[in-house]
């Protein structure tokens, strides 16, 4: 008994660290008033945020991350995919952006972000993924770093009930080979999951409380109870993976957030409610109805409001912090 108690005591710090790191935050840099990368990394550390996603390689960010133990997703943007269909270019990319920074804790490389059917870059996605993976293997880093891609939820149609989720006919031709690659290499699929946009696109059909984790929940036609929209969206993705003969591929939620202004239902109160409830949910062991009993690796979007980001006004107001590093909400990350 004494030896068992000693083992538990020794494991407790590791268990606590794992819990604290189950929530990451995306660090977008589309702003002309943002803190320096060193200040940003300090802000991650002081708030107990153990994971980061960035949207392209960035040497100052890498330098700031050295020795921090913050786990990192690096994204390769869609306009870079064609160049990486050349194996030598992919090897050079890995050497310059991964191997050159051995003190940075790389976890995933997201090759492409929200590639869609019909995009000119779609044809280059799988070859780029394969070449980056091969370069990671050549560097003997495959045990540390997994290569994947980040998709959005629109590749899945028939998403209600979640058990009916399947990839659209237009998406199947490019996403199925990618999923087969992930399954063969033990890599997760990264998915950007936004209850906010699902709600604002269907406000008469979706109760905002269901999107904010404050609903009593619904029971789907096939008898499954869902307490929140996030779980329903995530399980529709798992259903699509099952129908693609990849039931063992895990999903990492590579973005999820709620804006504080600039669009329908975009208020500080709604955003705080969403973020804190999401953090509590994904850090716990409830899981989803299709994947119960475990935490959900999730990256909140985003660290800061980004005043030069393109798109609709709402896109510039997803920050957890203002550019002056003051928190917009009182959130508990750890």
Q: Which residues are catalytic?
A: 114, 255
For residues 141, 142, 143, 146, the Cα torsion angle rounded to the nearest 10 degrees is 110
Could you list the beta-strand ranges (E) of 198-316: 218-219, 225-226, 251-256, 298-300
Torsions phi, psi of 201, nearest 5?
-80, -15
- In angstroms, rounded to a whole number, what is the distance separating the alpha carbons of residues 122 and 125? 5
Considering Cα of 330, then 150, then 238, then 206, what sign does the dihedral take?
Answer: positive
Q: Residue 19 burial (CB < 10 Å; 0-12/13-18/19+)?
A: middle
- In angstroms, rounded to a whole number, what is the distance separating the alpha carbons of residues 18 and 72? 15
Q: Residue 117 burial (CB < 10 Å; 0-12/13-18/19+)?
A: middle
- In angstroms, rounded to a whole number, what is the distance separating the alpha carbons of residues 193 and 235? 11
Torsions phi, psi of 244, nearest 5?
-90, 15
Say how many CA atoms lie within 13 Å of 162 toward its Cβ: 25
């Amino acid at each position: 008994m004494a030896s068992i108690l000693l083992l538990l005591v020794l494991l407790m710090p590791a268990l606590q660290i794992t819990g604290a790191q189950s929530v990451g935050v995306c660090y977008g840099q589309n702003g002309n008033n943002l803190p320096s990368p060193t200040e940003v990394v300090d802000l991650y550390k002081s708030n107990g945020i153990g994971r980061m996603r960035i949207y392209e390689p960035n040497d100052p960010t890498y330098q700031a991350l050295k020795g921090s133990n913050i786990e990192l997703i690096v994204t390769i943007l869609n306009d870079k995919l064609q160049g990486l269909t050349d194996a030598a270019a992919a090897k050079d990319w890995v050497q310059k952006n991964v191997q050159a920074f051995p003190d940075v804790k790389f976890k995933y490389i997201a090759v492409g972000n929200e590639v869609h059917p019909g995009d000119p870059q779609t044809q280059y996605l799988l070859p780029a993924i394969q070449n980056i993976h091969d370069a990671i293997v050549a560097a003997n880093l495959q045990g540390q770093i997994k290569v994947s891609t980040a998709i959005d939820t629109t590749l899945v149609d028939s998403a209600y009930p979640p058990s009916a989720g399947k990839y659209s006919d237009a998406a199947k031709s490019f996403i199925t080979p990618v999923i087969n690659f992930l399954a063969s290499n033990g890599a997760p699929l990264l998915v950007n999951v936004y209850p906010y946009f699902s709600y604002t696109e269907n406000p008469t059909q979706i109760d905002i409380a269901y999107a904010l984790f404050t609903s009593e929940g619904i029971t789907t036609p096939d008898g499954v109870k869902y307490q929140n929209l996030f779980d329903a969206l995530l399980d529709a993705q798992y259903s699509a993976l099952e129908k693609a003969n990849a039931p063992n591929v895990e999903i990492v939620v590579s973005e999820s957030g709620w804006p504080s202004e600039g669009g329908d239902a975009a208020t500080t109160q709604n955003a705080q409610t969403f973020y804190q409830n999401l953090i509590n949910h994904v850090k716990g062991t409830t899981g989803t109805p299709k994947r119960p009993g475990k935490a959900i690796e999730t990256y909140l979007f985003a660290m800061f409001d980004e005043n030069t980001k393109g798109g609709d006004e709402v896109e510039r107001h997803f920050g957890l912090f203002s550019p002056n590093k003051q928190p917009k909400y009182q959130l508990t990350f750890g």
